[in-house]
Amino acid sequence: MILTFFRNLFRDLRRQPLRTSLTLSGVGWGTFAVVLLLAFGSAVGKQNMKSFRGVGQGFVIAFPMSTTLPYQGLPKGRRVRLTPEEIILAGQKIAGIKRMAFEFTATRRIRYRREDVLNTVRGVTVEYGDIRNVIAGEGRYLNGTDIALKRRVCVLGNAITKNLFHEEEAVGRTIFIEGLPFTVIGVMKKKIQTSNFSGQRDEHCVFIPWTTYSALFGDKYIGSFIFQPENIAASKRLIRLVREHLGSRAGFSPDDKDALFVWDWTEFEKSFSIFFLAFNIFLGLIGSFTLLVGGVGVASIMLVVVEERTKEIGIKLAVGAKRRHILWQFFAESLAIVLMGGWLGFLLAALVLRAIPIEKIREYVGIPEINPAVGVAAIMILLAIGVISGMMPARRAASTNPIEALRK
């Protein structure tokens, strides 16, 4: 039965090869557009999110500044000074903080043999690397012992490594920071970073234990601190708690927004995600419209087909076809055209995606691919169009009056 159904279906499609292929190409082209747009859209979104996360992931940055409100008898305009110990304590006291880290930052003179550069040196904690995605590609990142023993060790950004060492192996060598020797223990894995704060991008920085930094360069107060909320949605509440806690310790009002300048990166991340979701929906819509044009083509062709086959419908009804038999016949035919066209579009899109010289554009658009999300979205759109474009002609066919149809 099903076999006969499909045999008849394909015979009906083959009867008008030109018409069928034109309709197919309309749908195929639409699908091609949808798939390609969605593939590029999701790749661009992913790539940008990746670059965006180069600076770190789901975290909040805070810079101690100067007070702008009087606090408990203290005048405004006082500099807010925070010691590493205060930050460590805050990280332990405030519930809901997943990780907390701080840094000392300055531009310093760095030398290796004849190479002599001025780059950002960051005195940091172990957690800092996790939050900021500073991951060692060679060697290792700083550990607790480095910090506790104030070791003169450093992790280099991948770009500064290249400037200092060129093709030479860096791990195990000694560099000089402000004339003081440091052993290179690791080189940061290359990462794409589009945003940054305090100094150069990480690939140009030297990371050393904060204890070493403080001991050698005499800094007592941190330049900035960062923390990751356990739950991103709670970032606002945590910021408030941090202000309250540090305000009472360092002498500033929790309402004094300028005393502690806070940059909630999680907010950016949220709006960024929303932006790219909207962007993808937009692309999907544009593609869907192209596909819709193909669907309209199918619907109008099928209406003509129904008109042409009125007699056939009449004969079938006369020998006992029910309305649903006729409905299914035409619905299946439309759907078959849409699905076959869709398949062709998919195939073409896959071929095109494979043919694109991806390396040249990878930095900006990532790797456009037909991932499951793209596939599912495209198939859903395709099915929706298929059902819409098939239903109208099929309903018309099914409502044929057999007596009038047989007279034709």
**Binding stretches for another protein (CB under 8 A):** 1, 3-4, 11, 15, 311-312, 314-325, 402-403, 406
Nearer to another protein, 308 or 363 (CB): 308
Nearer to another protein, 242 or 321 (CB): 321
Nearer to another protein, 122 or 309 (CB): 309
Residue identified by tokens 């071929």 is 351
Instruction: Quote the crossing angle between the two packed helices 17-52 and 265-308, to the nearest 10°.
Output: 180
Nearer to another protein, 79 or 407 (CB): 407
What Rg do the C-alpha atoms of the chain give, in angstroms? 33
Shortest distance in whole angstroms from residue 42 CB to another protein? 45
Nearer to another protein, 315 or 347 (CB): 315
Residue 375, Cβ neighbours under 10 Å: how many? 15
Shortest distance in whole angstroms from residue 281 CB to another protein? 42
Residue type, 93: K
Q: What pairs with residue 181 in β-bridges?
A: 176
Shortest distance in whole angstroms from residue 328 CB to another protein? 11
Nearer to another protein, 319 or 355 (CB): 319
Nearer to another protein, 11 or 114 (CB): 11
Shortest distance in whole angstroms from residue 390 CB to another protein? 20
The residues, any chain, with a CB within 8 Å of residue 67's CB and separated by 6 or more, are 74, 76, 77, 78, 80, 251, 252, 253, 256, 258, 259
Shortest distance in whole angstroms from residue 387 CB to another protein? 22
Shortest distance in whole angstroms from residue 331 CB to another protein? 16
Shortest distance in whole angstroms from residue 24 CB to another protein? 20
Residue 362, Cβ neighbours under 10 Å: how many? 14
Nearer to another protein, 67 or 329 (CB): 329
User: What six digits make up the tokens of 230?
Assistant: 């356990």
Nearer to another protein, 179 or 320 (CB): 320
In whole angstroms, give the CA distance from residue 244 to residue 358: 50
Shortest distance in whole angstroms from residue 329 CB to another protein? 10
In whole angstroms, give the CA distance from residue 345 to residue 32: 4
Q: How many angstroms separate the Cα of 243 from the Cα of each of 199, 215, 275, 298?
A: 25, 28, 30, 63
Nearer to another protein, 278 or 318 (CB): 318
Shortest distance in whole angstroms from residue 279 CB to another protein? 49
Shortest distance in whole angstroms from residue 327 CB to another protein? 11
In whole angstroms, give the CA distance from residue 344 to residue 355: 16
